[in-house]
Structure 1
């Protein structure tokens, strides 16, 4: 049985969330503005100055709902989740597997291969739909370069993790260098001059960073739900406070989930220049109206169905991280010879 619940995103500043029996009630300036049954939600994400009652936090912890705090502009600040679930033997198997350089390398290579394949799929799809021959030719060149990167990845030794990271980084630079060629609406506003993360310096980077933050939170929740340690990854270096495995899993979904949604919002002119705030020093972030548009579209995107190559059946986009987390757990327990990542079709 498949279950896909909603995530509650709250960004109206000064709101207060509290329990009213089995319902979350949202008040603003002493007046009720919204309510939703608690059992409809899988998590809560709040932006900036939003308050939650202690009883609501306790109830979410007891029932396994994560709460994520972001800044008003969408940068991650903190996360509260329930006590660790799952079999301790699974985490032991995870740590044992990732301590093996060869298995760690194999898994990292599969994450990167999936990322490049999914990125290439997005590029080829945009090339096919591009009305301008110049854009079409540029995207076709990018697709060929990404295909060469996949070939390089296949011929690496089983000990060269830095080389895997190098190929991933170069493929990402190639992809983002051609991102503007996939933009068909309001290109002067959304042209992308390389990937700038911290801080984003143009609307396209601000949009991508915001979507990646949402998707990374979903990946971390999925790993925790199956009992894996989101901190113990293979591709991303281990650092205190970094959910390395969640970032590894995120690589599979950047292009088919976040990037394609970003391009849809831009090319359908759902986002405009007015939906971004430009701050001193050149920093750019989505404003409240822009975030509302993106959050609504993100929730709708999670309800759409795609065909999963392993399951061979339609699956809601919102269940992809959880599905892959379960597949990863099977691989780490030794139930599968290889980890099959998600590849878009």
Structure 2
């Protein structure tokens, strides 16, 4: 199991990351702003116009440090990967499952995702009282989970997942208790996000998805070959599969907290003429600090029954999936917080 270490997020435009002996150095406006040993971090995330020297890329690949690049919107662009590790037999098993038994794993992932969405809605009602629309959505999501139990058809599973997501986001605006109306949410928009709520969701989904990709590679799995998401060039479909387990629990709850506690404001966003909305640099730094703090929190893992930091959950689930594919576990246990 990887030790939970700090991740380095670089969002200052024009920053330059380079190497000095066994350390990483960040220059801003040609002045040294930060220097730290590479063994103190597990991942580097670069947003927007951040320059990285070829020596750093090779250094990270050699040391197994995840180096990833995103747009200013938080959309994933690329990742530097070192030598492929892990058992080729595990990956061959993964490919066979993807071809012949994908529905088995996809079903439990989708069920866990929908249960987490229900928990977000139920948590809101416990705190703020019942709302007819939300109560109806909770009941409909439960019905969807019941339907999942009796289907082995992958297309049906995908359809149920899409319908559940639409119903969940149809009441998402009700969960925003910040009263100014500046963070109104009508529907999920992705490329690009067209309002502050979608900008935050997309930003954090991209970061968690990249964490999951790194975790899957760490146990020897291929992040691009999934079970729920179809293969598509350039997409880490398996990482997107596992991300479904964490969307509501890790990201949606964090976004709602940031908005409802007014830790982000409308002035923290840039509204472009194209309709795209993105976080300003200063706001991005602030929300990343909140995310890093959240990753340090611990829970009792529902399957392992052990205390685990939230930042290690992608690594735990990657390990459990690998154990299932090897035959050590009869079923893959998706993450579902109690």
TM range (shorter): over 0.9
- Residue 65 (structure 1) aligned with residue 65 (structure 2): yes
- Secondary structure of the residue that 1:67 maps to in structure 2? strand
Query: Does the Cα contact within 8 Å between 1:180 and 1:187 map onto a contact in 2?
Result: no
Q: Deviation at 1:73?
A: 2.5
Match of 1:112 in 2: 110
Match of 2:26 in 1: 26
Q: Deviations over 1:161-192 (max 9, x none)?
A: 11101110010011111111111114511121
CA distance in 1, matches of 2:214, 2:70: 15
Q: Which residue, out of 231, 249, 256, partners 1:238?
A: 231
Bigger shift: residues 47-56 or 318-327: 47-56
Query: Does the Cα contact within 8 Å between 1:73 and 1:287 map onto a contact in 2?
Result: no
Match of 1:4 in 2: 4
Query: Does the Cα contact within 8 Å between 2:14 and 2:51 map onto a contact in 1?
Result: yes
Q: Deviation at 1:196?
A: 0.8
- Residue 150 (structure 1) aligned with residue 149 (structure 2): no
User: What pairs with 1:153-168 in structure 2 (closer than 5 Å)?
Assistant: 153-156=148-151, 158=152, 160-168=153-161
Q: Deviations over 1:115-163 (max 9, x none)?
A: 00111111111111116x5xx333222211111111111121x2x1111
User: What pairs with 1:195-274 in structure 2 (closer than 5 Å)?
Assistant: 195-274=188-267
Bigger shift: residues 285-294 or 266-275: 285-294
Query: Does the Cα contact within 8 Å between 1:186 and 1:269 map onto a contact in 2?
Result: no
Query: Does the Cα contact within 8 Å between 2:73 and 2:199 map onto a contact in 1?
Result: no
What is the TM-score with the length of structure 1 in the denominator? 0.95
Query: Does the Cα contact within 8 Å between 1:94 and 1:333 map onto a contact in 2?
Result: no
Give the 4+ runs in structure 1 shifted more than 4 A: none
Bigger shift: residues 290-299 or 219-228: 290-299
Match of 1:78 in 2: 78
Q: Which residue, out of 279, 291, 303, partners 1:310?
A: 303
What is the TM-score with the length of structure 2 in the denominator? 0.97
CA distance in 2, matches of 1:55, 1:281: 37
CA distance in 2, matches of 1:81, 1:205: 29
Q: Unpaired runs of 5+ in structure 1? A: none
- Secondary structure of the residue that 1:205 maps to in structure 2? helix
Q: Which residue, out of 266, 279, 283, partners 2:272?
A: 279
CA distance in 1, matches of 2:48, 2:137: 39
Q: CA RMSD in A?
A: 1.3
Q: Unpaired runs of 5+ in structure 2? A: none
Bigger shift: residues 199-208 or 16-25: 16-25
CA distance in 2, matches of 1:247, 1:65: 21
CA distance in 2, matches of 1:196, 1:54: 35
